[in-house]
Amino acid sequence: MAFLQDKILFSGLLVFCMTIVVSSHSRPYSPPSVAHLTDYFPHVSIDQGFSKSFGGSNIQLISNGSMANLALDKTSGAGLVSKNKFYYGFFSAAIKLPSGLSSGVVVAFYLSNADTFPHTHDEIDIELLGHDKRNDWAFQTNIYVNGSVSTGREEKFYLWFDPTEQHHQYSIIWNSYHTVFLVDNIPVREFIHNISFSSVYPSKPMSVYATIWDGSEWATHGGKYPVNYKYAPFVVSFANVEMSGCIWNPTAPVSSCSKAGTSSYDPVEGPEFVKLSKQQIEAMDWARRKLMFYSYCKDTSRFKVLPPECK
């Protein structure tokens, strides 16, 4: 009888411990309700909207080209680049991250013009950083302007779900009013275009990239935990890609472009995209209070004088 009681007690403790682990990993927050901007635009077939950037043998197109699996192994990572360059718009992808130990792995969905402006390039980054045994995937946002790679504007968040179980939407609004980063349509960061210091705002046409690569030197705890290729290949899935906005024509003035997509919504000048709604502002405040664990605007050890937009 005592043995049976001990067994029941042990089982109860085991279930309790497992509940703690699961709860810790999934961060069981219920996000606020917001407008689903990702429902406003058509999906772009990956085989039609993108070219292979690097690691071609590690890129697998599936579902008639509507989805892509990108792999990182000892030989290479993999990357896609949009066939068009954009001057403002709405950019989104449903991403399912590699499961298991993934320290040092970086999955990125971002905008860049480094190929056109190698020394003065702009960049708007969504980077998902792999984890060691004790931590969840981290969601990092960053902005570079005019080649300011030494003064990136990073902010880091935990997610309120397990990003390895299914696809989740990661999105960017970029227009002349602001740049907004969203996760499952929840805004987590807004970078406002202030004319008083407009030189720190991305303003040149950019391509869209989807990549997976080895960030061992910095990605997990400042490079403390490099990629362990014992667990390779690391495979990320991209689906439901949306790229709507202003397609740049290199032979025309920079402000001249053609509209991408068939949606009646305009992410460049439309009222739903040039200013966050009250509902979106409240949701962003929720995300930043609950989930943000680093902001460059609070890093006084790194910046003796904080960047102007932080004030």
C-alpha pair distances (Å), 109 with each of 16, 52, 168, 169, 242: 37, 14, 13, 11, 12
The continuous run of DSSP H or E covering 11 comes out as: helix 2-26
- Residue 229 confidence (pLDDT): 95
DSSP secondary structure string, 248-283? E-TTS-TT-EEE-SS-S--TTT-HHHHS--HHHHHH
Q: And the tokens for 76?
A: 């290479």
pLDDT 10s digits, 234-281: 999 999 999 999 999 888 776 667 777 778 999 999 999 999 999 999
pLDDT along the chain (311 residues), means of 10: 42 39 56 96 96 97 96 98 96 96 96 94 96 84 88 92 96 97 98 92 96 90 87 97 92 74 89 97 98 95 90 80
Place of tokens 């962003």: 284
Residue type present at position 73: D
- Residue 34 confidence (pLDDT): 97
pLDDT 10s digits, 191-246: 999 988 888 999 999 999 999 999 988 878 778 889 999 999 999 999 999 999 99
- C-alpha–C-alpha distance, residues 41 and 267, integer Å: 10
- Residue 14 confidence (pLDDT): 40
DSSP secondary structure string, 40-104? SS----HHHHEEEEE-GGGEEEETTTTEEEEEE-SS--EEEEEEEEEEEEEEEEEEEPPPS--TT
Among candidate residues 123, 155, 190, 242, the one labeled active-site is 123
Q: What are the residues whose beta carbons fall under 8 Å from the beta carbon of 273, sequence distance 6 or more? A: 37, 90, 173, 175, 265, 266, 267
Phi, psi of 2 (to 5 degrees): -60, -40
Cβ distance 118 to 204 under 8 Å?
Answer: no
The continuous run of DSSP H or E covering 239 comes out as: strand 234-248
Among candidate residues 127, 155, 190, 242, the one labeled active-site is 127
Find the distance separating the first CA and the last CA of the chain, reported in whole Å: 67
- C-alpha–C-alpha distance, residues 165 and 174, integer Å: 29
For residue 38, give the nearest of 187, 151, 247, 199 by alpha carbon: 187
- Residue 177 confidence (pLDDT): 97
Determine whether 123 is an active site residue: yes
- Residue 251 confidence (pLDDT): 80
Determine whether 127 is an active site residue: yes
Give the predicted TM-score (pTM) of the model: 0.89
